[in-house]
Structure formats: C-alpha cells, structure tokens
Amino acid sequence: MKPIHVTADTFPTEVRDSDVPVLVDFWAAWCPPCRVISPILDELAERHEGRIKVAKVDVDAHPELAAEYRVSGIPTLVLVENGEATRTLVGARPLAVLERELGLVEQAA
C-alpha cells in the first residue's frame, strides 16, 4: 500500500481511528531531506503492508497538525498507535534503521 496524503479533515479517520499503527510523515515540498526519505517511506509502506500505514502531512498546507504534534523540524515521523503518538523520529534515515527503530524487524544480537 502506498503512503496516503492526509489533510486536517481526513487525519482523524485515517490516523487516529486506524486499526493499525500509522507512521505520519510531516514534510514539505521545499525540504531536501523530505525528498530523500519519501521513496524510503514508499518501500516501508509496501514491505509492511497490513502491519503499518504511512500517512503524509504537508506542513505548509496543514500547520495546525504540525503544531499539534510539536513538529519543529522536518522531516518528522510520528508513530500513532491507538490514536496516541508513541514515538517521534526527526530527520531522514535509511530503511533498515527506520525498520529497527519502529520495531518492524528483529534486532541483531
């Protein structure tokens, strides 16, 4: 499943009421690191379909959502589980690192 673009209107249904954890990518078109992490998030969404959903929020179009989640730098990734933010990750990172940080793969011993 590809990442979905959410707005202030669709955020409650797509993110807060989701029955699977949602990784929310707070991004902006002018942000180079946001462009770097975008294909990584596409891959994450496809690899872990059914286990996690990826939602994208354009901070320029929806500053109220960025403010609600205290986004001060982008890209900021917020993991929302059962309607609550449980983890915040700031900055781009490789897919393998992101998967480990989100608990989607086993840690190497």
- For the annotated catalytic residues, the residue numbers are 31, 34
Tell me how long the chain is: 109
Q: Provide the 8-state DSSP code for 6.
A: -
> Beta strand 53-58 with 4-5: parallel, antiparallel or unpaired?
parallel
Q: In a 3-state reduction of DSSP, which class is residue 11?
A: helix
Ordered strands of the 4-5 beta sheet: 4-5, 53-58, 22-27, 76-81, 84-90
